[in-house]
Structure 1
Amino acid sequence: MKKIEAIVRPTKLEALKEELLSAGLKGMTISQVQGCGKQHGWKEYYRGSEVLVNMLPKVMVSVVVDDAQVKEMVEAICRIARTGDVGDGKIFILPVEDVVRIRTGERGSAAV
């Protein structure tokens, strides 16, 4: 199993949720996050002084899938989130050792 964490523009969230669910995803966790990368933020003025605001609002979508689904999910995320501009986001793919469903005690893929 793998955990896929995609950090994308907030404007892409609804389309991304629909695409992932239609691709057979059973569930996801969504978090509002802030970060910076090559965009480096923007300048604002506070009490007459220039301030660099370098944390931009993003959304992180986390999913856990079987190894066989990773390629399909990553392609779906890229298809929906890509604009071609700086700030489209990143996808991180991490190994998942085990999963436990708290309610039933199921483990592994059955718990996802």
Structure 2
Amino acid sequence: MKEIMAVIRMNKMNQTKKALADAGIPAFVAREGYGRGKGLVNQAVLDGAAAGNEEAIALLGTKGRLYPKRIISIVVPDDQVKEAVDALISVNKTGQAGDGKIFVMPVSDSVRVRTGEAGEAAIV
């Protein structure tokens, strides 16, 4: 089993839900988050702004902002990872900075609370 964690744009949530459902992956957890990519910030400007330098604060503008994102967590059997990742990419890729990130991590076990089923039986 794998957990797929995706950080996506807020305005892509409905398209993402549909793409995952169409790929046979209707179950996931989503939450709000805030973040920014590494390419949006000049560390020297951030350091200057933190030190109270007014020029650095003016240069910072909106580049130091944290942008609202959605964080999606999906647990799937190993054989569904590619389908899930492809579905996420298909609707979230615009070619612009801020499209998001996808992380794939191992899951050692899962248990369905209602029935006590364990392993892949708990997620399918």
TM class, shorter-length: 0.7 to 0.9
Q: Tell me, yes or no, if structure 1 residue 39 matches structure 2 residue 30.
A: no
| Structure 2 counterparts to residues 8-87 of structure 1, below 5 A | 8-37=8-37, 38-40=39-41, 50=58, 52=62, 53-87=64-98
Secondary structure of the corresponding residue to residue 57 of structure 1: strand
Distance in 2 of aligned mates of 1:39 and 1:24: 35
Go from structure 1 to structure 2 and tell me whether the alpha carbon gap of 1:33 and 1:6 turns closer, same or farther (over 3 Å shift): same
8 Å CA contact retained: 2:7, 2:71? yes
8 Å CA contact retained: 1:7, 1:59? yes
8 Å CA contact retained: 2:35, 2:67? yes
Deviation at 1:106, TM superposition (A): 0.5
How high is the sequence identity, in percent, across the aligned residues?
Answer: 42
With normalisation by structure 1, the TM-score equals 0.87
With normalisation by structure 2, the TM-score equals 0.79
Aligned length: 105
Q: Judging by fraction of residues, say which structure has more helix.
A: 2
Structure 2 unaligned segments of length 5 or more: list them: 42-56
Q: Judging by fraction of residues, say which structure has more strand.
A: 1
Structure 1 unaligned segments of length 5 or more: list them: 41-48
8 Å CA contact retained: 2:17, 2:26? no
Deviations 1:71-98 (A, max 9, x none): 1110111111000000000000000000
